Amino acid sequence: MLFFNKKNQHSRTLSQRNALTHQSDRPKTFFYHSQRAFEPETTKRQTLRNPLKPQTVSRVASFSLQRFGLLTVIIVTIISLINIIAVSSDPKIVLLESNQIGYLHTAAEYQKAAKLLFSKSFANSNKITIDSDGISEGLIHQFPELSNVTIKLPLVGHDPIIYLSANKVLIAITTPSSLSYAIDSNGQVVGSINTNGFYKLNLIDIQDESTAPIHIGQPILSMNTVTFIQTIIYQLEQRNITISNLVLPASASELDMNIIGQKYSVKFNLEDPDPLQEVGTFLAVQHYLQGQGVTPSQYIDVRVSGRAYYK
């Protein structure tokens, strides 16, 4: 049996430590040929590790179809709505007076003007923003003979219908320059007129000898004057007396009437509030002169109330 003392034991321990110390001082050596961790063999294309399940693919396709279907429905709805509210700029014209008395233009001329008004604004292309009042006012301004313009929009179709009412044209005024204008019951000049218009509207021609300017759309006679003229025409028609024409002399408040078959004229006072009295005076004088076998050569003047003069 061997016995080691503590001194020897201590010396061995120091020797071991020195050996470890010298070993740590050596340069470290790296080895690059160590084995890599195991990886599955792959080609140039990466292997799909988690493939989609058929149920997932089906759900994605179904959702896409639903979204596409909803989008299609929305687009079709918008197109249908646009089609429903769309308004054509080619309206149909309806003249309410069956005999067409009072209309100074043809339906085609009214339609052309209305079409132009519809085309002036994009707002008039649909039933929501269409300016019906503006179009109506535009037609009345352009054609003063119209008393009312009504625009009807169809619920399903696209072509608007325009109903036109005309003022009653009573007389026509011819200027010294031979231009003729139609006058309505308000004394307003509603438009120019030609010879055919006289026959069509059965108008009494009034020769205006004054030089006052005439403007379409503006009054030229007072309503009292128009009423006075209407009364004279009606009363003489009841007596089968045909008026050839009426004359407005340059002097104010005078109206001269010429009768078919007679050389003389009849002078009336337009300021007289009672035209019936003047007509009655004329008829009485005419009857008296016929009984006497007298025919005036120039005129019968009933402008002074209760009196009559002839020449």
List, for residues 236-261, the tens digit of each pLDDT value. 989 999 888 899 998 778 999 999 98
Bridge partners (DSSP) listed for residue 207:
174, 247
Cα 307 from Cα 303, distance rounded (Å): 8
Phi, psi of 75 (to 5 degrees): -65, -45
Q: Which residue has the higher pLDDT, 47 or 55?
A: 55
What does the alpha-carbon distance between residue 84 and residue 72 come to, in Å, rounded to a whole number? Answer: 18
User: What is the domain partition of the chain in residue ranges?
Assistant: 92-166
Q: Which CATH number fits domain 92-166: 1.10.3470, 3.10.20, 3.10.450, 3.40.50?
A: 3.10.20
- How many CB atoms neighbour CB 111 within 10 A? 16
pTM score of the predicted model:
0.60
The residue among 20 and 182 whose pLDDT is bigger is 182
Phi-psi label, residue 165: left if phi above 0, alpha if psi -120 to 50, beta otherwise:
beta
- What's the angle, vertex CA 265, arms to CA 290 and CA 279, rounded to 5? 70
Per-residue pLDDT of 173-224, as tens digits, reads 888 888 888 888 888 888 888 766 666 777 778 888 887 888 888 888 888 8
Contact 162, 63 (CB under 8 A): no
**Edge-to-edge strands of the sheet including 189-193?**
189-193, 180-184, 169-174, 204-208, 243-248, 254-259, 265-269, 299-301, 309-310
At 307 the pLDDT is 87
pLDDT tens column, 90-137: 899 999 876 667 788 888 999 999 999 998 888 888 878 889 999 999
Residue 44 token pair: 């140039």
3-state secondary structure (DSSP) of residue 261: coil
